[in-house]
Structure formats: structure tokens, C-alpha cells
Structure 1
Amino acid sequence: MPSSPSDPDSPATDWHAQELLLMREVMKLVGRSLAPAFVLREMLHLMSELLGLNRGRMVLAGEAAPGEERTASVRHAYGLTAEEVQRGVFRWGEGITGRVLATGLPAIVQDVDAEPLFLFRTVPRDRLPPQTVAFIALPIEVNGATIGVLACHRIRSRQRHLNDDLAVLRILATLAGQLLRLEQLVAEQTRQLLARNAALARALDSASARYGLIGRSPALLQALGELERVSQSQATVLLLGESGTGVATGPARTVDW
């Protein structure tokens, strides 16, 4: 884990170097593991340690049954207590986070105390620094649809420009969306494989799977029928079949079942 600067707001801080270090460390994490739970939490950790973007959280949409109101909740966070994470649930359009979910547009609150839409739901005001605190929230998108929000606090009066934070957060939000999309694809592939295996298991157990052979080819079924008719006989028989049916054309043989 890279060490954070002793004074992140010092005029001597090389912010460009800090940004490059953050991106390099994040990509190392992606190279080590594609599991979003691990990568995204460490991403939020690096945002805080290297750039002073604190109490980062990723609010992601949950599954909603037909007729139920859609909500999103904090799934990954750094700098939040377990109680704060549990409180971080938002309806579409509710508060700043809900508005970003509903519109798909980023939101910048220069002063959380002066913004009537800011709810202080996840982190109460007395848990924040006494200085003027800003809040930044960006949409996380997958295939053009907003599925979540990347958000954090920062002290407004800092040496670092707000636009620089926005540029970095846009990149991280895009990367988060790609990781979550990859997780969806892997989950879908896994579901398909499990369903296919279950179908094959059912086929093996069904009456259509005769003698461990699966297939509905007329030629194969005809060959199996002929085998059944002669199975009780010790006579020498010759079975002829088309190429690909599994019944070879060859010398006569004795069938003894």
C-alpha cells in the first residue's frame, strides 16, 4: 500500500504524481483480482489516502420485484461505519444521490450545509469536519443505464482544483461500471452452464436416454430398436447404419446382452 503524503494540502504536493500513483495502484488491483468487492473498496481507500476524497462510497441498485419501488444502497465504502453503511439506502430521485440515479448526471454540492436536498442520511453532520464540506456524486453506468453512484466528501478550501477531482472520479466511475458489468457477464455464464448441466442430468434420467445414449436422430433410434429386438437372442446379426449414427457398418458380430 503506498504511503499517503504527510500534508495532502501542502502547496508542494505533486497532484499529477498522486493521480498517476492512484491509477497505477488501481490497475495493479485489477490485475490481481477481478472481484469487484475487493477492487472497488481498495479504490475508495486510495481515493482517500492519495487525493483526500474521503468517506467514499458506491451506491448500487438492488433487485426490485414487479410493483416494488426501486432503491439503491451502499455496497462498497471506505471511511464509513457499519451503521452508516446500513443507513445508506436511497429511492430514485431522493436527495442528491437519488437525483444522480434518476438523471444519470453528476452532482457537485459546494457546501452540504447550504444544500436543502442534502439529507445527511449516511453520515450525520457531526461526523464531518467543521470546515465547509463539499460532496461529489457521479453516475456509474453499464450499457448506457445508470446502475449506481460513486460519491465522496472533500474539504472545499483545498489547494487541489475541484475539476481535477472530477476528472479522476469520472475515470474511476467508468472502471467501476466495467468491473460490475464483467461480474454480471460471469454470473450469467455461470447460470447458463448450471442450467445446461441440469438439463443434461435430466436427460440422462429420462426415458429418452436409453442405455446412456442421448439423442433423437431417427437413424439412432432405429438402431436402438433393432438392438432391443435381438438382445435376447444369441444369433449372429449384422447392424448397418449411416455415418454419424454411432452404428458402424462392418462384419457380422454376436450381440450378447
Structure 2
Amino acid sequence: MPQIQSELSFNGLSVLYQIAHLLASGKDLELIMSNILEILETSAGMKRGMITILSPNNEELAVDVARGISETDKRKGKYRPGEGITGKVVATGRPVAIPILDAEPTFLDRTGARKGLKHSDLAFLCVPIKSGNVVIGALSTDRVAVQDAVTLEGELRFLEAVSDLIAQVVQTRRRDYDRIHALEKENLELRRSLENKGKPDLMIGNSSSMREVYRQIGQVAPSITTVTIRGETGTGKELVARAIHQKSPCASGPFIAVNCAALPESLLESELFGHEKGSFTGATAKRIGRFEAADNGTLFLDEIGEMSLSAQSRLLRAIQEKEFQRVGGSDSIHVNVRLICATNRDLETDVREGRFREDLYYRINVFTIALPPLRERGADVMLLADYFVKKYSRLHDKNIERISTPAIDMLSAYHWPGNVRELENVIERAVIVSTGNVIEGHDLPPTLQMKDASEQGERNDSFENLVAAYERELIVDALKDTQGNQTEAAKILGTTKRIIQYKITKYNIDFLRFRRGDSTGDDE
């Protein structure tokens, strides 16, 4: 601690004792810092005290506690290291005394604390706040102007002694800032999840295909295994990914989603792995990537099949080694991330044709969940429609009680190329245009009110198609219940194995996908 000389105009040791006693009181940190500035003003004549803290990334100084200014003005007090007197003190680690403030052109007064005061009547003192040899902030005050800086040497050393006392408190505040920032980020992700998607437990659907999806989620969620979700656009792949995350060991960590198809190739690697300042044109600051943001949580890579081969190569290394380097950087960053991927592409074909790395395919294809298209989910269409009617009736302040029978027939007959997402949009539109408390057929979009051109002329065998679809679903359910055993499936359905084999071939059913690793069967 710097020596406190006797030429001070106040009792320096008494003031230091008051501050030390205050620091040991265990009060709220912000209150302690404010009280220190009050003691400096009332007992030492040092007015407009400010404590400025350097951000954790060392890129910005911000006024943390100030005396005599509003919260709005306090928020204006932001500086870069080296900018103004305060920035210079932080950058160099050396104290500065300005005997007459009016004579110092680099003084900024961004907070406006001295608005209306004559700078020629003021002197300015600023000392660094250090944790060991590392500068973490600055303490500054005003006093009456003097003729030269020598007169201020005693008060400058006194202020350094105060800085030494509060350094430990400021360092604690920096750690609190990091923790609060992490909590705010996590809470923001959670709020967005709840607002945009609803709770994952509210996934709608009771069809056999969706019950299989639920079973698979329950099987894989408690592990940290990489999961690949496959399905057409709009089937709810991200909703399944969130359900897995929320039931997993890393549920308390962040869930970070990246749409690989929405980012140009030139930015995808930077988005995933981050970049260092100056690593490319426009990289004006260091930026952490999604892998780093998902540490101790889940990273969801949607449309992974759209990644370039170069990005696939870096992703493979990150998965294998659990570490990566930022774009333009040389330091390896280790992360603990659970990876969930999704795609609507045929990755097997992409591998054969060289559009997707074979080694990456096998790395992510550990546990696959196949989401069925809406057209194969039967009565789920109406369950979802009723759910969306209630949701958008509340949202748009409408009193829709039900869907009419003609409208139900139209919804059930439609082939839904856009899957659940398209159904949701259709129902929202119907709720908006409906003039009564029932959604009628004419409230639905024109695409549902006319037969698809590709289906023209098929009216005569539509009954046969419905029977065939029902028959196929019965056989699939039986195969699931028997783990792909055709003989046992035939017994459940009260028919012969030969007929089951014929129907499997006719409807192109892959019975092998229902086999378990330890199951045995007679169906070669």
C-alpha cells in the first residue's frame, strides 16, 4: 500500500479506516462502493467519484458506480482502453493527476457529470484498480484546481491506497458479472424456447409412428449419444431435439440451434467455431462460435446435409477431439457438447455421390430418429388441427369452437407436403378469416378446396387406396410389436406368413428396421 504522507488536507488514515471497516461489513457490493465514494466526498473533499470496470474481454470500460449522476448519465460512461484519461490509466496501469482540468484536451466527461461547472476550477485524479499486476478498472475523483501536479502527489498516493483496498471487491464484482451474464443468456434461450415452441412435452400425436418416436426419445435422451433426426421439412425436427435436450443430463446447460442451410458457406465456419479479431474482412472483434456457446449443453445442427465439405471436415474433428480452433486462431478450445443433427436429405445417396463425407456420416449416425410425414399420421391431423385452433383463437381473440365436418374431410384428405408447419399456417389463416365460431370449408385455403392435379382420375379407386393405407398401417404395427418377425405378425393379424410376405413386398415395407440388435427371427 502506498505511503500516506502527512501533508494531506484531511486525516488520510482515518478515511482509510472508515473504508476498510465498510468493506468488512458484508453489505451489498453496490451499496459498499457507493458509500466509499460518499466517504471520499464528505471526509476527503474528493467529489464526483467514479469506479469504472474493465469488461471481461478487456475491450470496454464502463462506469459501474458513480456519485452525483443519474443512471442514464452513468450508462453513457463507456470507454475503450487508451481512450480519454480513464482509458489511458487502465491501458498503462499508471495514475494520472490533472491540476487544471480545463488545460487537458483529452478529458472526455462522457457522463456529463461536470456539466455547468467551470473546468478551470477543477483538478482530476485517476488511479488504476489492480488485481495483482492486472488492471481491472479505475477509480477517479475531482478536487479543487491547483497550480501543478506536484501538489496532488499526496492525494494521488492516498487514492492508490483506496484503490488497493477496493480491488478485491471489484474483482468479486467481475466474477458476479460473468455469472449473471451467463444466467441471463441461459434464461433468454429458455424464454425463446417456451415462447416460440411451447413445452416439448406438449408434442401432439397418438399415431403408432409418433408413439415410436416418443419411445426413441425416452431411450436416447438420458445418454450423451449423438442423435440424427431425419424427416421432411416441417415435421418438427427441432421440437424433437429440444425434447431430447430437456430430458438429458445437460438439460441445465444451453440449447443452441444452428440452421446450416440459412448461412452462406463463407460464414458457416465462423458461426460454428467463432473467429479472432482481424481473421477476415469485417471481423472487427473476437466472436465465440456456437460450439463454444453450447459448452456443457446441446448443439443442434439443423439441415446438416447442406454443409460444405470443408465445413464437414472441421466439424468431424470437433466431434472426434471435442476441441477446435476459432477461424484465424491457433489456440485449441475444448468443449463438452452433446450434438444433435437433423436433415431432410438422403445422406446415404449424398455419401455415394461425394456430397457428404462418409466418415462424418458414420460419426453422426449413432442413433437415428425418423419423423413420419403428416400424411402418414392418420388421425393426428385432427388432433393437431384442434390444438392449433385453440392456440390461434386465443392469440387472435376469436371464439372458434370447432371445425365443421366438410372442413374436417378436406383437412383429412389433403396430402400436406409442408407437414405440420403447413397445417399450422392453414389453421391460423382459417381462424383469422372465419366470421363465426365454426371453421367452415370455405375458410380453408384454395389448395385444400380442389383436388391435386396429380390425383385427377383417381376417384374410382380412392376407396381402394384408403383400404390399402389402413392395411399397411396394421401390418407395420404388427411388425413393430413383434420386432420385425413376420411369422408372429401373421399370428397377431390372424393370417398366414405367406400373405404377410406378399403384403410387405406390395407395400414396400422395410421389416428389417423393426429388428432389435438382440432379436432373432425366422424371416430370411
TM-score for both structures, normalised by structure 2? 0.30
- Asked if residue 50 in structure 1 is aligned to residue 39 in structure 2, the reply is no
1:1-257 paired onto structure 2 within 5 Å: 15-16=9-10, 18-33=11-26, 35-64=28-57, 70-123=59-112, 125-129=114-118, 131-157=120-146, 161-183=151-173
Task: Select the structure of larger CA radius of gyration.
Answer: 2
What amino acid is the match of 2:163?
A
Secondary structure at the counterpart of residue 139 of structure 1: strand
Maintained 8 Å contact 1:35/1:183: no
What amino acid is the match of 1:91?
R
Secondary structure at the counterpart of residue 138 of structure 1: strand
Distance 1:106 1:172 in 2: 13
Maintained 8 Å contact 1:131/1:155: no
Cα offsets for 1:55-110 (capped at 9, x unmatched): 0000101234xxxx811110011122223212111011111111111111111111
Maintained 8 Å contact 2:89/2:96: yes
Distance 2:146 2:169 in 1: 33
Q: 1:166 Cα deviation (Å)?
A: 1.2
Distance 2:120 2:101 in 1: 11
Distance 2:81 2:97 in 1: 18
Equivalences, count: 176
Cα offsets for 1:29-72 (capped at 9, x unmatched): 122116432222111110001111100000101234xxxx8111
Distance 1:164 1:106 in 2: 12
Q: Specify every segment of 5 or more residues in structure 2 that has no aligned partner in the other structure, as ranges.
A: 1-7, 180-220, 224-524
Secondary structure at the counterpart of residue 115 of structure 2: helix
Distance 1:74 1:85 in 2: 6
After the TM superposition, list the runs of 4 or more consecutive aligned residues in structure 1 that deviate by more than 4 angstroms: 182-189
Distance 1:24 1:111 in 2: 30
TM-score for both structures, normalised by structure 1? 0.59
Q: Specify every segment of 5 or more residues in structure 1 that has no aligned partner in the other structure, as ranges.
A: 1-13, 190-204, 208-257
Distance 1:46 1:79 in 2: 13
Identity of aligned residues (%): 26
Structure with a larger share of its residues in helix: 2
Q: 1:186 Cα deviation (Å)?
A: 8.0
Secondary structure at the counterpart of residue 32 of structure 1: coil
Cα offsets for 1:89-144 (capped at 9, x unmatched): 10111111111111111111111111111112223653335652111110011131
Q: 1:206 Cα deviation (Å)?
A: 5.7
Maintained 8 Å contact 2:100/2:120: no
Cα offsets for 1:156-205 (capped at 9, x unmatched): 249xx52231122011111111222345678999xxxxxxxxxxxxxxx9
Secondary structure at the counterpart of residue 42 of structure 1: helix
Secondary structure at the counterpart of residue 73 of structure 2: helix
Cα offsets for 1:198-244 (capped at 9, x unmatched): xxxxxxx968xxxxxxxxxxxxxxxxxxxxxxxxxxxxxxxxxxxxx
Distance 1:88 1:50 in 2: 26
